[in-house]
Structure 1
Amino acid sequence: MNRKTLVLPAVVGLLAPVLAACGASGDGSDGRAAIVVGTTDQFVASKDNPAPLDPAIGYEAGVWNVLRQTVQTLVHVPRGGGEPVPEAAESCTFTDTQNESYRCKLRSGLKFSDGKAVTADDVKYSIDRVIRIDAPNGPVTLLDNIDTVETQGEREIIFHLRAPDATFPYKLATPVAGIVPRSQYAAKSARTGFQVDGSGPYTMKPEVEHHQLVKAVFTRNPHYKGDLKVRNEKVELDVFPDPKAMGKALDSQKIDMMARSMSPEQSQQMLEQPKDGIKLTEMPGLAIHFLGFNTNDPAVKNKAVRQAMAQIIDRGEIASKVYGTTAEPLYSLIPSGITAHANSFYNKYSEPSTEKAAAILNAAGVDTPVKLTLHYPTDRVGAGTAAEFGTLKKQFDDTGLFDVSVQGTPWAKYRPAQLRGDYAVYGMGWFPDFPDPDNFTAPFLDRKNFLNSPYTSALAQKTLIPQSRRETDRSAAAKTFQRLQDVVATDVPVLPIWQGKQYAASRDGLTGVEWAVNSSADLQLWELAKDAR
């Protein structure tokens, strides 16, 4: 989602004791029983998406949450946030003052889960295949700035960039830069199905029914050598059709934890009426939800229509009435909690106003009421989405300036249709690839953006985005990001609605929950452990 927006393996038997030479710590669970985590992410292999779990293809929060457990990256963002630190590498650094050459040295003795050595050539192969496959609307855009990948010996890799990019280490920390074995991943084609192999903290196999993943069992990888401290031996990821079914499984002790995605009602109820034996943990969240536009569609091609919608929408009503304490109004693509956040939409449009919206439309010669269909995914963005879009319809219709209908579609059909440009207006969510303001602007405004939007801004693409990436001190780029946010508020290629909070519910005795989901909604199963009680 993203991020971002797509989406998910089981080893039989028990692993031999982990050797001290491995990167995992010795503080894992004292028992062999699996920790069971619930998810409502759906993982389907289809004609349109036969390879949902290939790092060259998958570009959704749910997919990445699986890949992060199994596919290792050179660097990773530490548990408390901050700049990336070495993971598969023992060191990584820019070697020039322009941030155009990035050098990494692999850890000694690094191995894939099958025991074969991981070399610099494997890293180059993995990166090159993503670029070569060049999957439409896949994560390859994160690697667009790579000119060449050079190796020196068995352990050194040098990335030569086309332009300065201080965010490049963050991009290397995402699954698109995961190291995969060439014996399992063809150089020019995607790996179909649900199997994933790598050198990460876990091995995995899928349990699949009707081309859909129903369970993934992650087992501690005895060959893992990296920076992560693995605190358990096995974790099952059980897939549920909806939050209600997942909640029942938690109540009946069939699962130990549920995170993605609890419904707003579940979180609110647990906040107001705590349950015995169950703990609700709130964590910082950076996920955003917005309306996107096909700016070539006649219904919204005129910028005035999109501006009028921005002038009408009441974010406070949506956040309070639909999502309660689990969301807050969002007036920019860059959420609060991220450096350079600014309330550009509020600064431009202030409070909702039918009178101001009418003036915008009249000045542009737009006939009213404007007929629109708002599309949303029925099984992806969140449990409150239908209510949210019902509220949006009422807000627009009540002005008399719009005549709105609402249409929900399952994600498997929704996403291809959105990418084709079938929808003039559509709802989406974005889970950041990494916690930097660049990742809330470039994916929406740069070429090959993840929405496949026809909207272009020469100022954003040719000046502001490159300018922001030259700043190693990210706070120094704040003014540039302010201008980017103002561009979005003026042209309205997307319309931010709300920013989510994250909650996880877990049974007593499960520890590490507060670290198991980070602010970017990344699942970090290695943090979980059960008390010895």
Structure 2
Amino acid sequence: MNRKTLVLSAVVGLLAPVLAACGGSGSGGGGGKTIVVGTTDQFVATKDAPAPLDPAHAYETGIWNVMLQTTQSLVHVPRGGGTPVPDAASSCNFTDKENESYRCTLRSGLEFADGTKVTADDVKYSIQRVIAINDDNGPAGLLDNIDTMETKGDTEIVFHLKTPDATFPYKLATPAAAIVPKDKYQPKKLRDGFEIDGSGPYKVKAEVKGDQAVKFTFTKNPNYKGDLKLSNDKVELRSFPSAEAMGTALGKGDIDMMTRAMTPAQIQQMSVSPSKDINLVEMPGLEIRYLGFNTDDPSVKNKAVRQAMAQAIDRSSLASKVYGPTAEPLYSLIPTSIAGHTNSFFNKYGEANKAKAQAILKAANIPTPVKLTLNYTKDHYGSSTEEEFNVLSEQLNATGLFSTTTQGTEWSKFRPAQKKGEYAVYGLGWFPDFPDPDNFIAPFFGKDNFLHTPYANDDIRNTLIPASRVAADRNQASKSFEQIQDIVANDVPVLPLWQGKQYVAARTDITGTEWAINSASNLQLWELGRGKS
């Protein structure tokens, strides 16, 4: 990064996983019996989203966890976090002090899984395609600061940015910048279905039932040239309808490991009564949950309503009652473990207080009780989401200031409805694309943001976000992020609720589990092996 270190000191202490049950993880060899991993992520191709695995469309953790095994980017974040390092590239660095020009040179002999040569033109095509398609649900916003791309021969590409951006290497490390073959991906049309092609460590085949992929089989890509070292030849990723079904499969030996989303009850049971055959591994997590608002909806358009909710909700009680020790209250969109975090919501509102909430509504002449529907997705973040929203509703209703009901909807319908502004109040989670404060701010408040929110603050969008991206030392960006967090706490376009930990549970003959998922909740299946643990 132009020989400058990107400092993320607040995250460093999180990078050591914690193992419960018996033993730690050793080193596993490649080959051997297929390793089977369970997840509750659902992979559905719908009329509204027929191309779930296309890099121009995909922008959620479960899908990215498939893509990260099969596609390749110029750089990747190393297993323990920190500054991105070359993967498809042999070298990448900023070539100017302002962090506006980023140059990469491809590895020699780089090929797609089918043996076709990968060139700098393929890199340029892939990224241009994401920007040109600019899918409503897609990650094009991560690349919107690219002004031009210049290729030099088959192996060199230079990105010229519109404004300085020290976080650009992290954005290139995401599947938004996945390199794909031109003959498989049309320039202005999404690729429907569950096929995916790239130059990543694995090739993949999906097992599809109806409109849903229920299993992905990853086999070692013999043409892969990159920074990753594979500890296995074959991994299956199986989708389960619930954490309970996934846990049963692990107990019976039908799967070797389960990932997100385990229930708090499962984690508690494994912690208190560990099995001799299963290890529970706690790893650093940056997942957050929050309420979002359609600030144009009459019921929440007046920010006094949103401020009163911020004043009335007891985050500590919510987190402990529903999630126990696996979650902690959050008072900003930026998690506590990320540089630049400040407890802006706590500083403004303090602990939950009915009288203060009532005073906010009274001063704004808002009649009570305020009637609201709290919308949530019932099949995307785990089975505890329903309980979480029931507790939220109970807390608000207990004040007498609100009259709320809850409504759960399948993710395939929930997300399109949320984007269209059909919900006044809705619950979402965020798993960061990369561990930097920018990624907890820009996707929410930048232009063409992830939420499709009508809320726009010129100071955040035009001054503070650009100012924060100048600093290569991310600690120096803290002042801008602190100002943003204070603005958000006052306007409440979103309301942070809690920050979670993450866990995997694996049979004791599976190695590499401590590296199987990183702080951004990205699966790293290549780390898994089979041997003595």
Could you tell me whether the CA contact under 8 Å between 2:28 and 2:510 is conserved in 1? Answer: no
Displacement of 1:472? 1.0
For 1:189, the equivalent position in structure 2 comes to: 189
How far apart are the structure 2 equivalents of 1:168 and 1:397? Answer: 44
How far apart are the structure 2 equivalents of 1:226 and 1:399? Answer: 57
How far apart are the structure 2 equivalents of 1:32 and 1:197? Answer: 25
SS of 1:404's partner is strand
Letter paired with 2:123: V
Could you tell me whether the CA contact under 8 Å between 2:509 and 2:530 is conserved in 1? Answer: yes
Could you tell me whether the CA contact under 8 Å between 1:28 and 1:233 is conserved in 2? Answer: no
Alignment of 1:453-472 (within 5 A): 453-472=453-472
Could you tell me whether the CA contact under 8 Å between 1:88 and 1:107 is conserved in 2? Answer: yes
SS of 2:102's partner is strand
SS of 1:78's partner is coil
Letter paired with 1:295: T
Alignment of 1:366-515 (within 5 A): 366-515=366-515
Displacement of 1:187? 1.0
SS of 2:274's partner is coil
Give per-residue Cα distances to partners, 1:365-423, cap 9 Å, x unaligned.
11111000000001012221111111111110111100111111111111111011000
Give per-residue Cα distances to partners, 1:193-230, cap 9 Å, x unaligned.
00111000000011100010010000000000000111
TM-score of the superposed pair, with normalisation by structure 1: 0.94
Could you tell me whether the CA contact under 8 Å between 1:137 and 1:448 is conserved in 2? Answer: no
TM-score of the superposed pair, with normalisation by structure 2: 0.94
**Segments of 4+ in structure 1 off by > 4 A?**
none
How far apart are the structure 2 equivalents of 1:30 and 1:197? Answer: 23
How far apart are the structure 2 equivalents of 1:163 and 1:485? Answer: 22
How far apart are the structure 2 equivalents of 1:413 and 1:227? Answer: 38
SS of 2:132's partner is helix
How far apart are the structure 2 equivalents of 1:35 and 1:376? Answer: 33
Displacement of 1:137? 2.7
Alignment of 1:30-41 (within 5 A): 31-41=31-41
Could you tell me whether the CA contact under 8 Å between 1:88 and 1:110 is conserved in 2? Answer: yes
Displacement of 1:30? 5.1
Give per-residue Cα distances to partners, 1:461-504, cap 9 Å, x unaligned.
01100000111110000111101111110100000000010010
How far apart are the structure 2 equivalents of 1:500 and 1:371? Answer: 29
How far apart are the structure 1 equivalents of 2:225 and 2:31? Answer: 22
How far apart are the structure 2 equivalents of 1:276 and 1:80? Answer: 28
Aligned residues: 507
Displacement of 1:523? 0.2
Alignment of 1:34-433 (within 5 A): 34-433=34-433
Letter paired with 1:213: A
Could you tell me whether the CA contact under 8 Å between 1:57 and 1:135 is conserved in 2? Answer: yes
Displacement of 1:266? 0.7
Displacement of 1:276? 2.2
Give per-residue Cα distances to partners, 1:263-297, cap 9 Å, x unaligned.
11111111111122011000000000000000000
Could you tell me whether the CA contact under 8 Å between 2:261 and 2:381 is conserved in 1? Answer: no
Could you tell me whether the CA contact under 8 Å between 2:73 and 2:87 is conserved in 1? Answer: yes
Give per-residue Cα distances to partners, 1:432-479, cap 9 Å, x unaligned.
000000000111111111010000101100110000011111000011
SS of 1:305's partner is helix
Letter paired with 2:242: D
How far apart are the structure 2 equivalents of 1:239 and 1:259? Answer: 10
Compared with structure 1, are the counterparts of its residues 477 and 31 closer, same or farther at alpha carbon in structure 2 (3 Å cutoff)? closer
SS of 1:157's partner is strand
SS of 2:44's partner is coil
Could you tell me whether the CA contact under 8 Å between 2:32 and 2:530 is conserved in 1? Answer: no
SS of 1:36's partner is strand
Could you tell me whether the CA contact under 8 Å between 2:231 and 2:529 is conserved in 1? Answer: yes
User: Does residue 522 in structure 1 map to residue 522 in structure 2?
Assistant: yes
Could you tell me whether the CA contact under 8 Å between 1:240 and 1:246 is conserved in 2? Answer: yes
Give per-residue Cα distances to partners, 1:164-191, cap 9 Å, x unaligned.
1110000000001000011111111111
- Greater RCO, CA 8 A, separation 6+: 2
Could you tell me whether the CA contact under 8 Å between 1:217 and 1:234 is conserved in 2? Answer: yes
How far apart are the structure 1 equivalents of 2:468 and 2:281? Answer: 35
Taking only the aligned residue pairs, the percentage that are identical comes to 63
SS of 2:444's partner is helix
Could you tell me whether the CA contact under 8 Å between 1:201 and 1:220 is conserved in 2? Answer: yes
Displacement of 1:336? 1.3
SS of 1:428's partner is strand
Letter paired with 1:258: M
How far apart are the structure 1 equivalents of 2:247 and 2:462? Answer: 48
How far apart are the structure 2 equivalents of 1:42 and 1:166? Answer: 34
Compared with structure 1, are the counterparts of its residues 209 and 330 closer, same or farther at alpha carbon in structure 2 (3 Å cutoff)? same
Give per-residue Cα distances to partners, 1:51-74, cap 9 Å, x unaligned.
000001010000100000000000
Could you tell me whether the CA contact under 8 Å between 2:510 and 2:532 is conserved in 1? Answer: no
How far apart are the structure 1 equivalents of 2:267 and 2:505? Answer: 8
Displacement of 1:108? 0.5
For 1:5, the equivalent position in structure 2 comes to: none
Letter paired with 2:524: Q
How far apart are the structure 2 equivalents of 1:137 and 1:486? Answer: 28
How far apart are the structure 1 equivalents of 2:216 and 2:113? Answer: 17
SS of 2:249's partner is helix
How far apart are the structure 2 equivalents of 1:439 and 1:514? Answer: 24
Displacement of 1:31? 4.1
Give per-residue Cα distances to partners, 1:279-338, cap 9 Å, x unaligned.
100000000000000000000000000000000110111111100011010000000111
For 2:22, the equivalent position in structure 1 comes to: none
Letter paired with 2:122: D
For 2:23, the equivalent position in structure 1 comes to: none
Letter paired with 1:399: T
Give per-residue Cα distances to partners, 1:233-266, cap 9 Å, x unaligned.
0000011001000000000000000011111111
